[in-house]
Amino acid sequence: MKSALIVDDHPLFCEALSMTLKACVGVTDIRTAASLATALDILRAGPAPDVVLLDLNLPDVDGLDGLIWLKRAAPVTPVLVVSSMAEDKIVSLTIRAGASGFVPKHSQVDRFRTAFDAVARGEVYVPDDYAAAARIDGANEPGVDTVERLSQLTLQQARILELVCEGRLNKQIAHELSIAETTVKAHMTAILRKLGVQSRTQAVLIASRANFSELLRQNGSGA
């Protein structure tokens, strides 16, 4: 892996991680982004990096949202989460949401080298002390009535959810649909309520697992 995109809003950490990747991992082309929006712009402009290193705490997204949106924007690019939140449950959730690995921010240099080697082989890297049996809240799992819940969305809500799944932010969705950003937020509140979830992340996971885009093409949405 010769190119990387670091998505983190802490300049000093970005600089230190860049030096580590260049000196110890062999990465020669490094770009940085302090927000998800900037990272998405970089990915869409291309060329895609060999790997993305993502912090879970960014100024414009919460929790796993950044990871899911990045995977939507660049589905074949491995994402290595680098976070100070290293609890087993967090690691489990990031892997299930599509991350190719998880490296705690406090890790030594050799851990990053090991993680890069594993990702390059197509493997998933987790910390040595990670307990794979860590409990994950079942709220992230779609129930048997998933399709029925999705069918309750209006055409506008279905389109908004589809755009969210593509990695669009509220401002971008508002521009795409020629509506106010406050209207997008109101629709998102209704979408979460109809799907019976608490966050955009859970809504995207449900839509993804139900192949929501294909459902829209085949059946359309509710009125």
Residue 75 region by backbone torsions, left for phi larger than 0, else alpha for psi between -120 and 50, else beta: alpha
Say yes or no: 111 and 181 in one domain: no
User: 114: pLDDT confidence band, cut at 50, 70 and 90?
Assistant: very high
The last residue of a domain, from among 120, 155, 182: 120
- Report the distance separating Cα 205 and Cα 116, nearest Å: 26
Per-residue pLDDT of 142-155, as tens digits, reads 444 566 677 678 87
> Does residue 136 have a pLDDT over 50?
no
Say yes or no: 112 and 207 in one domain: no
Say yes or no: 96 and 198 in one domain: no
The last residue of a domain, from among 93, 120, 147: 120
Say yes or no: 180 and 105 in one domain: no
Query: Mean per-residue pLDDT for 165-182?
Result: 91
Say yes or no: 107 and 150 in one domain: no
- Report the distance separating Cα 35 and Cα 57, nearest Å: 9
Q: Is residue 95 part of a domain?
A: yes
Say yes or no: 167 and 87 in one domain: no
> Does residue 137 have a pLDDT over 50?
no
CB 31 within 8 A of CB 5: yes
Q: Is residue 128 part of a domain?
A: no
At which residue do the structure tokens 């994950």 appear?
A: 136
Residue 138 or residue 84, greater confidence: 84
| Beta bridge partner(s), residue 3 | 29
Domain membership of residue 11 as a residue range: 3-120
Say yes or no: 53 and 93 in one domain: yes
CATH number of the domain residue 40 falls in: 3.40.50.2300
User: 123: pLDDT confidence band, cut at 50, 70 and 90?
Assistant: very high
Per-residue pLDDT of 37-90, as tens digits, reads 999 999 989 899 999 999 988 888 766 778 878 887 888 999 999 998 888 878
Q: Is residue 127 part of a domain?
A: no
* Of 98, 88, 81, nearest in space to 204 by CA: 98
Say yes or no: 28 and 89 in one domain: yes
State pTM to two decimals: 0.65
User: 14: pLDDT confidence band, cut at 50, 70 and 90?
Assistant: very high
Say yes or no: 89 and 33 in one domain: yes
pLDDT at residue number 148: 65
User: Which pair of tokens denotes residue 36?
Assistant: 């998800």
From the CB of residue 221, how many other CB atoms can be counted at a distance below 10 Å? 19
Largest Cα–Cα distance in the chain?
Answer: 57
Say yes or no: 8 and 89 in one domain: yes
Q: Is residue 213 part of a domain?
A: yes
The size of the chain, in residues, is: 223
User: Which pair of tokens denotes residue 38?
Assistant: 């900037």
**CA neighbours closer than 13 Å in the CB half-sphere of residue 187:** 23
Say what angle helices 36-45 and 65-73 make with each other, to 10 degrees: 10
Q: Is residue 142 part of a domain?
A: yes
- Contacts of 13-18 spanning 24+ positions with Cβ under 8 A: 13/55, 13/105, 17/53, 17/82
Report phi then psi at 31, rounded to 5.
Answer: -115, 155
Q: Is residue 197 part of a domain?
A: yes
Say yes or no: 11 and 109 in one domain: yes
**E-state strands within the chain:** 3-7, 29-33, 51-54, 79-83, 101-104
Q: Is residue 147 part of a domain?
A: yes
Number of folded domains that form the chain? 2
- Report the distance separating Cα 84 and Cα 55, nearest Å: 8
Q: Is residue 166 part of a domain?
A: yes
